């Protein structure tokens, strides 16, 4: 096992902290999840890289796990309407349309293996049961947090849909409901992180204006280094 | 992080080795996967506990991730026929029928964290991309190996199906095809394990007659302790 280099890891954490607030400004970031990401940054031995709060996508794919041949043709982090989906699945397709609900995914980089297992336990308490430690390199120990929430529905073949409009309505209501459950898990993760917050928090090198809002929301005022 | 106790871990490995051959005799064990389990046992610092070679199930559930309220009403580790599935989904149901294809899942217990990461790398090379280290206790470090192959199709509500027989035929052909891909990943895992086989192999306390067949298949003759 390769163990993380502390200097390299901390450099990445600071860069990721700065990018977090840049991404928020640009609109790249999923607002549903920012306070959770901040909770991870406040832990002295963790930070997050990519993350998703849960989403509904339509893929054009033979099978959605064949990543190379899969095209995401629709993506939304909130509930969808029947019309939005019909508009997408009626386009000409290369393979077939799949409607997929994906629960939240958060990638955490920890400085050591103890912290990795602690993050894993917090996540499991919040219902992120498909979480695991994926790799350990000089850059950090990568922990992936995932729930079991996953719907993957083939809606037809390239040329015709398997479901009529009425059925599609039922399927979409089911998908929206699954997405809601995914967002609920985020709330549970937020609570568990808060309960497990370390006594001494990370001191970021700077606190951008946008960050102040979220730190206030979390009720913390970390020292700036 | 709790580190495994070597004596406790080895006791469990020996018990699991013996149970493997008992389970095979009783018919509990999925024959598609035995040679892979044996490969793990041959590694001095690994053994497997539960495993599944991939299967098609029908669940009666509101959502299949609500484990408590989910009933598996059909399960098969090989391709299914349309008639088999129709027979199941036409029964009275409490929630709704879900047709689900689950790729292989293998639980490996390793003696140390280095072996855990090595197993993880072997698995990833074989296309088990959703694998991770789940926990570390006195009993061992638990590594779960999983592919991304997963179909989860709601087929209707409690009272009526969303798909007609013709469409069900298409969906089942897609499911069978996904199961075939799942089994192909097993073959890749077998190859990668073989390539990464350690120079010195584990010496089991005994080699039951059924085991001899599989050890011969793998081209190894480990010393008995």
pLDDT in tens, A103-151: 999 999 999 999 999 999 999 999 999 999 999 999 999 999 999 999 9
Distance of CA B64 to the CA centre of its chain: 18
pLDDT band at A50 (very low <50, low <70, confident <90, very high): confident
Q: Which two tokens mark B24?
A: 């095979």
Q: What radius of gyration do chain B's Cα atoms show?
A: 20
Of B116, B134, B162, Cβ closest to residue A167: B162
10 Å Cβ neighbour count for A140?
Answer: 27
pLDDT band at A8 (very low <50, low <70, confident <90, very high): very high
User: Residues A207, A48: contact at Cβ < 8 Å?
Assistant: no
Cα gap B25→A163, rounded to integer Å: 45
Check if A117 contacts B (Cβ < 8 Å). yes
Burial class (CB in 10 A: 0-12, 13-18, 19+), A90: exposed
Give the closest of B135, B147, B152 to A150, CB-based. B152
Q: Is the pLDDT of residue B217 over 90?
A: no
Instruction: Please tell me the distance from the alpha carbon of residue B42 to that of residue B200, in angstroms, as a whole number.
Output: 9
- Tell me which chain A residue has its CA closest to the CA of residue B142: A132
Q: What pLDDT does residue B27 have?
A: 80
> What is the phi-psi region of residue A156: left when phi exceeds 0, alpha when psi lies from -120 to 50, beta otherwise?
left
A4 inside 8 A of chain B by CB: no
The pLDDT value recorded for residue A4 is 97
Q: What are phi and psi of B99, to 5 degrees?
A: -100, 125
For residue B166, pLDDT over 80 is answered with yes
- Residues in chain B with CB shorter than 8 Å from the CB of A177 are 63
Out of A65, A113, A132, closest to residue B113 by CB: A113
pLDDT computed for residue A149 by the predictor: 93
Q: Would an 8 Å CB–CB cutoff place B73 in contact with chain A?
A: no
The residue-averaged pLDDT of A94-104 equals: 94
Q: Which residues in chain A have their CB less than 8 angstroms from residue B1's CB?
A: 113-114, 116-117
- pLDDT tens-digit series, residues B47-95: 999 889 999 999 999 998 887 788 999 999 999 999 999 999 988 999 9
The length of chain A in residues reads: 225
Q: How far is B161 from chain A (nearest CA, A)?
A: 9
Task: Write the residue in A134, A150, A162 that is nearest to B163 by C-beta.
Answer: A162
Determine contact, residues B60/B94, Cβ cutoff 8 Å.
Answer: yes
Instruction: Judge: B152–A147 Cβ closer than 8 Å, yes or no.
Output: no
Q: Which domains does chain B have, with CATH numbers?
A: 6-198 (3.30.1960.10)
Banded model confidence at residue B31, pLDDT cuts 50, 70, 90: confident
Q: Which residue has the higher pLDDT, B76 or A217?
A: B76
- Helix or strand holding residue B38 (H, E): helix B34-42
Minimal Cα–Cα distance from B63 to chain A, Å?
8
pLDDT in the model for residue A39: 96
Evaluate if residue A67 carries a pLDDT over 80. Answer: no
**Taking CB atoms and an 8 Å cutoff, what residues of chain B touch A120?**
134-135
Asked if A142 is an interface residue toward chain B (Cβ–Cβ < 8 A), one would say no
- Indicate yes or no: CB of B149 within 8 angstroms of CB of A63: yes
- Contact, A33 vs A106, CB < 8 A? yes
Residue of B nearest to A177 (CA): B63
Q: Rounded CA gap, B15 and B158, in Å?
A: 44
Interchain proximity B170–A162, CB inside 8 Å: yes
Per-residue pLDDT at A112: 97
Q: Determine the pLDDT at residue A29.
A: 80
Taking the mean position of all CA atoms in its chain, how far away is CA A80?
Answer: 18
pLDDT digits (tens, 9 = 90+) for A170-193: 999 999 999 999 999 999 999 999
Average pLDDT of chain B? Answer: 92
Q: Token pair of B151, please?
A: 């179909």
Sequence-ordered list of residues with C-beta below 8 angstroms from that of A194, at least 6 positions apart, any chain? A39, A218
When pLDDT is averaged across residues B157-170 and rounded to a whole number, the result is 85
The residue with tokens 């129709």 is: B86
């Amino acid at each position: 096992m390769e163990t993380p280099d502390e200097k390299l890891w901390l450099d990445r954490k600071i860069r990721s902290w700065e990018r977090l607030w840049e991404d928020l400004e640009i609109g790249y970031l999923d607002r549903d999840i920012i306070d959770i990401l901040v909770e991870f940054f406040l832990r002295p031995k963790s930070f997050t890289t990519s993350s998703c709060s849960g989403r509904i996508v339509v893929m054009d794919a033979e099978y959605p796990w064949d990543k190379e041949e899969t095209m995401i043709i629709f993506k939304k982090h909130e509930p969808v309407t029947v019309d939005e989906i019909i508009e997408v699945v009626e386009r000409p397709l290369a393979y077939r349309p799949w409607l997929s609900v994906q629960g939240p995914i958060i990638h955490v980089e920890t400085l050591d293996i103890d912290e990795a297992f602690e993050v894993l336990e917090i996540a499991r308490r919040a219902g992120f049961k498909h979480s695991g430690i994926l790799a350990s390199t000089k850059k950090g120990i990568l922990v992936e947090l995932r729930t079991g929430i996953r719907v993957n529905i083939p809606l037809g073949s390239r040329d015709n849909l398997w479901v009529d409009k009425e059925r599609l309505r039922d399927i979409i209501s089911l998908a929206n409901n699954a997405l809601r459950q995914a967002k609920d898990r985020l709330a549970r993760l937020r609570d568990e992180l808060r309960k497990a917050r370390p006594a001494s928090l990370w001191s970021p090198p700077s606190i951008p204006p946008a960050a102040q809002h979220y730190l206030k929301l979390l009720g913390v005022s970390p020292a700036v280094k």
